[in-house]
């Protein structure tokens, strides 16, 4: 739920704002200041579909779409959001794009022009940051120029696949149920009951302390190592070749207590075909070839460049 100020606060603000406006010609901060800035305001050439202007600065549809793509991609990296929250936050409709245009891009343009009016572009720290960014941008563009014609042939991809087939094999996956108890004695008693024919999921639901208890201990399909380093003992037990489909493990110690697992079903690992692995192999080979070329060019350039590093000054 959005926070809304109460009515007295809103009225007080409006009165105060009106008072300011009545005398705003006497308040220098609110008036654009003429500066002797040597840096001219950014005047982009319109390339694309014009969708807005802020004074004389244009915003195009293509520019808006680029910002939206970057924003949506950043959401995919957010580990603090659930899949549903990510999906809800993404800009994926026309109305959301228009709202982003108004609330972000136009707002940014307005403050940018105010910053120029105030001469902030002449602050030494701003100039230094802009120059550093320009340097990084040009350096990256130069590297892009160096590697832009590098490609990977069909024969290179096929050879890499044949020489590394084991890397392109999907691992086995097992659907696993678990029961977790606080004490080893309790786990051993439950194991006896299971071996006597008691239902695993019922006991898990009623007596397991794990989060999975609400699902009858069902963890779904897992691959070895998927649960992380803390679950080494779990992996050794659950993915043991001796534990076949339908089998129940013995009691073993784990990160949250004492465990018993049952193997509901097993999906055998399969070898990925060359077409299935093609894009992955190409991306790996291309990145490697590009990096090798950049390393070679850097090695040549650095021999003719005066480079001084004062390691003693690094604290």
More confident residue, 206 or 16: 206
The alpha carbon of residue 164 and the mean position of all alpha carbons in its chain are separated, in whole angstroms, by 29
pLDDT at 123: 95
Burial class (CB in 10 A: 0-12, 13-18, 19+), 179: buried
Say whether pLDDT at 125 is over 70: yes
Residue with structure tokens 């076949």?
244
Q: In the predicted model, is pLDDT for residue 41 greater than 60?
A: no
DSSP 8-class letter at 104: I
Helix axis angle, 274-303 relative to 154-163, nearest 10°? 110
292-308 as b/e, with b when 16 or more CB fall inside 10 Å?
eeeeeeeeeeeeeeeee
Annotation: CATH topology of 170-267: Chitinase A; domain 3 (3.10.50)
Q: How many CB atoms lie within 10 A of CB 71?
A: 14
Residue 6 has pLDDT above 60, yes or no: no
Confidence band, pLDDT 50/70/90 cuts, at residue 13: very low
**Closest-CA residue to 252 (of 264, 240, 265):** 240
Count how many Cα atoms sit within 13 Å of the Cα of residue 309 in the half-sphere of its side chain: 3
Instruction: Please state which of the ranges 41-55, 74-88, 160-174, 299-313 shows the lowest mean pLDDT.
Output: 41-55
Torsion (CA) 118, 120, 123, 128 in degrees, nearest 10: -160
pLDDT per residue over 299-311, tens digit each? 999 999 999 999 9
Question: Over the stretch 265-288, which tens digit does the pLDDT of each residue have?
Answer: 999 988 999 999 999 999 999 999
User: How many Cβ atoms are within 10 Å of 254's Cβ, its own excluded?
Assistant: 19
pLDDT digits (tens, 9 = 90+) for 25-36: 433 433 444 444
Instruction: Kindly report, residue by residue over 159-194, the tens digit of the pLDDT.
Output: 999 999 988 988 899 999 999 999 999 999 999 999
Q: Using CA atoms, how far apart are residues 311 and 315, in angstroms rounded to an integer?
A: 9
Cα–Cα distances in angstroms (integers) from residue 119 to residues 33, 38, 267, in the given order: 8, 10, 65
Helices (H) and strands (E) in the chain, counts: 11, 6
In the predicted model, what is the mean pLDDT of the chain? Answer: 87
Segments in the chain forming alpha helices (H)? 7-22, 61-76, 83-89, 94-100, 106-117, 124-147, 154-163, 184-195, 200-207, 232-238, 274-303
Domain boundaries, the chain: 42-118, 170-267
């Amino acid at each position: 739920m959005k926070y809304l100020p109460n009515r007295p606060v809103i009225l007080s603000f409006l009165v105060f704002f009106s008072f300011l406006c009545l005398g705003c010609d006497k308040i220098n901060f609110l008036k654009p200041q003429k500066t002797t800035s040597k840096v001219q305001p950014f005047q982009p050439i319109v390339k694309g579909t014009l969708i807005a202007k802020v004074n004389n600065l244009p915003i195009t549809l293509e520019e808006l779409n680029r910002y939206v793509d970057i924003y949506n991609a950043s959401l995919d990296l957010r580990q603090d959001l659930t899949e549903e929250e990510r999906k809800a936050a993404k800009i994926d409709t026309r109305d959301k794009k228009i709202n982003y245009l108004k609330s972000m891009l136009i707002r940014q343009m307005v403050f940018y022009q105010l910053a120029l009016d105030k001469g902030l572009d002449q602050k030494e720290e701003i100039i230094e940051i802009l120059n550093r960014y320009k340097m990084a941008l040009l350096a990256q563009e130069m590297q892009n120029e160096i590697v832009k014609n590098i490609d990977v042939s069909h024969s290179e991809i096929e050879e890499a696949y044949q020489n590394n087939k084991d890397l392109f094999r999907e691992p086995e996956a097992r659907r696993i149920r678990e029961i977790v108890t606080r004490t080893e004695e309790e786990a051993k008693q439950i194991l006896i009951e299971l071996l006597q024919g008691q239902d695993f999921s019922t006991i898990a639901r009623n007596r397991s302390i794990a989060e999975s208890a609400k699902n009858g201990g069902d963890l779904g399909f897992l691959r070895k190592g998927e649960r992380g380093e803390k679950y080494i003992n779990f992996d050794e037990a659950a993915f043991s070749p001796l534990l076949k489909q339908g089998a129940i493990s013995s009691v073993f110690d784990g990160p949250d207590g004492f465990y018993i697992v049952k193997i509901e079903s097993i999906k055998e690992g399969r070898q990925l075909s060359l077409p299935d692995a093609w894009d992955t192999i190409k991306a790996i080979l291309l990145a490697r070839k590009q990096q090798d070329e950049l390393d070679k060019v850097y090695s040549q350039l650095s021999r003719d460049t005066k480079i001084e590093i004062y390691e003693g000054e690094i604290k």
